[in-house]
Amino acid sequence: MGAADARRAASALNRLGLGAHNGEIVALGDAEAWALRQSSQRAEDLGVFTGLPDSLDYLRKEAQLQQQRRALKRADAGTPRPPAIGKDGKPVNPLARLYVQMFGADLRREASARWQLAARSETPFAERLVRFWSNHFAVSVDKFPVRLYAAPMEREAIRPHLNGRFYDMLIAVEQHPAMLRYLDQAQSVGPDSPLAERVDRRLARRADGQPARKLGLNENLAREIMELHTLGVGAHYTQADVTQFARALTGWSLPTPRELEQGEVTAAFKFRPFAHEPGNVSVLGKVYDQRGEDQAKAILADFAMHPATAWHLASKLATHCVSDTPPPELVDAMAQAYRASGGLLPALYAALLQHAVTWAPEARKIRTPQDLLVAGLRAGAIDPGDKPQPWEGLLMRLGQPTFMPRSPAGYTDVAADWVAPDALWKRVQVAEALAERVVRVGLEPRALAAGVIGPALRPDTLTALARAEAPEQALALLFASPEFQWRV
C-alpha cells in the first residue's frame, strides 16, 4: 500500500469510521469503496439488540407501573408504615425503587448494547451515521419521561431509515414517543378542536370557581422541526408559520394508560382526531387542505425537499465528517445531490465520499468525548462488557453523557463550543482508564500505535512510547497523543 492509499485508509477508519482496529488500516483496500458500500446498506447490529423491549412494550410496562404505584399509595394510606432504610442509611422512596425494579435491567442492557456495537462493529461508517442522525434528532433523558425511549428511538426510527428517504426517517422520529414526550407534543390540543370545545363547556358548567387546566396549542415540536430538524435557523419562516404548523400537528400523540391497560393498542403512536385543529393551514405561503394526520405529513414532505433543508443537512454532515468549517463547494455538492435524488440519504452520503475535499490532508476533526472512548475501545480491543456504568461515567466526566444534551440542538460538532480549559487533563485521565483495560500479553505498544494511527503517527510519539517505563504507561501515552485525539 502506498503512502497516499494508507492515509486515505486511516482517514476512512478514524475520521469517517469510529476508530481503527489494530492492523485494519493496512488491510482496508479502497477506502472510498469501503465507505460507499456502507452508505447504501443497513448498519449491522451484531444481534446486540435482540430481546430488548420496543417502545410499545415500554409504554405497557409504564401503565403497569402506574397501577402498582396507585396500589402502593392506597396501601400506605390505609396502614402508614415507617420508611425503609437503604444501604446508605437514607430513607428509600418506594415509588422510585419500583421504577428501578421494573426498568433498571432494561436500561443497563440498552446502554450496554450501544457500547458493544461501537466497539465491535465492522460497518463503522454506517454506525457513525446512526449516531450523527441520533444527535441531529436529539432528545435528552434529563427529562424523566424520555428516559426509557431515547435508545429505542435510535434503533426504531433512525437505524431502519439510515439508507432510505430522509422523509421516512423524519416521520418515524416525529411520531416516536421519545420526541413526542421531549417536546411536549402529547399535550398539544387544537384551540377549536372537539376536545378543546368539550373541555371548555365542562369548565363553563363548574360552579365551584376553582381553576382548571385549560387545553391549548403547544408549539415546541413545530418550532424545533423547522429550526433544527429540517429548514435550519437561517431559513426565512415566521412565527405565524410555526403556529400554523403546530396546528397541523395537533392530534399527534401517544396511547393513554387506559387504552394500554385495555389492550386496544398496536402501535406506540396514536393520532387523536378529537384533538386535531380543524380547517386549512398556511405554511411558507402554501395552503394545506388535508385532513387529520395527513396534513402535518404533507407539510413535512415539503420541508424534507426544501432547498434550505438540503443545505442544512449537508452542512451538518460535512461539519461532522470533514471540518468544523467545511468548504461551501462541498456543502453545495452534497445539497444538490440530495435534492436531485428526491431526498435519498445515500445520495447525500455519496456526494460527501466522492468529493476531493473529504480526503484532503487538511480534513480533520478533534475527537468528541464519545469518539475518544469508542476509538480507544476499538484500538485496544477492549471488551466493554455488560456493565456500561464505567464508560457512561467517563462520558459524564468529559461533559457529554449519552442522550443528555442540554438542548434540543444536541451536542455541537464545533470543538470550540465544548473543549473546556480543563479538557486536556480529563482526556489524560480517560487515556489512563483505557490503558488499564487493554490486554497486554504479547502487546507491543509501538506496533499498536502504527496499526491504529497509520501514516499520521509522529516520530516524537514513537520515541515517547519507547521510553515508557511499562506497557500500561506507553498505552496511556498513545491514547493521550495528539494523533489519537484527532480524527485525521
pLDDT tens, position by position, 316-359: 999 999 999 999 999 999 999 999 999 999 999 999 999 999 99
On the question of pLDDT at 473 being above 80, the answer is yes
Give me the mean pLDDT over the 466-483 stretch. Answer: 95
Please tell me the predicted confidence (pLDDT) of residue 38: 95
Q: Are 219 and 243 in contact (CB under 8 A)?
A: yes
Question: Above 70 in pLDDT, residue 371?
Answer: yes
Query: What pLDDT score was predicted for residue 392?
Result: 96
Q: How far apart are CA 156 and CA 169, in angstroms?
A: 10
Give 24-33 pLDDT, tens digit per residue.
999 999 999 9
Burial of 96 (0-12, 13-18, 19+ CB in 10 A): exposed
Check if the beta carbon of residue 56 is closer than 8 Å to that of residue 176: no
CB atoms within 10 A of CB 253: 21
Residue closest to 150 by CA, chosen among 136, 140, 162? 140
- Residue 395 · residue 131 · CB < 8 Å: no
Q: Where are the alpha helices (DSSP H) in 206-323?
A: 220-224, 239-249, 257-261, 293-304, 307-321
How many angstroms separate the CA atoms of 370 and 115, rounded?
10
Cell representation of residue 376: 480507544
Residue whose C-alpha is closest to residue 239's, from 193, 284, 286 = 284
Which grid cell is 153? 428511538
Residues 225/284, Cβ–Cβ less than 8 Å? no
The model carries a pTM of: 0.94
pLDDT confidence of 485, banded at 50, 70, 90? very high
How does residue 80 score in pLDDT terms, banded at 50, 70 and 90?
Answer: low
Does residue 422 carry a pLDDT above 90?
Answer: no
d(C-alpha 433, C-alpha 293), whole Å: 50
213 and 261 in contact (C-beta within 8 Å)?
A: no
Question: Residue 10 above 70 pLDDT?
Answer: yes
| Cell digits of residue 435 | 490503558
Distance of CA 422 to the CA centre of its chain: 26
pLDDT band at residue 3 using 50, 70 and 90 as cut-offs: confident
Neighbours of 98 (CB within 10 A): 14
Terminal Cα-to-Cα distance of the chain (whole angstroms) = 18
pLDDT value of position 261: 86
**Closest-CA residue to 36 (of 351, 454, 315):** 351
Q: Tell me the percentage of the chain whose pLDDT exceeds 70.
A: 96
Torsional sign, CA 74, 75, 77, 78 = positive
- Gap between the Cα atoms of 410 and 272, Å rounded: 29
Per-residue pLDDT of 292-308, as tens digits, reads 999 999 999 999 999 99
pLDDT of amino acid 72 = 78
- Residues comprising the chain, all counted: 488
pLDDT in tens, 185-239: 988 999 999 999 888 887 777 656 665 566 789 999 999 999 999 999 989 999 9
Give the residue from 249, 153, 233, 136 showing the smallest Cα distance to 193: 249
What pLDDT, on the 0 to 100 scale, is given for residue 76? 72
Domain residue ranges in the chain: 41-76+95-205+213-322+324-362, 366-487
pLDDT, tens digit (0-9, with 9 covering 90-100), for 100-125 = 999 999 999 999 999 999 999 999 99
Give the pairing type, strands 270-271 and 281-283. unpaired
- Mean pLDDT over residues 4-10, rounded? 94
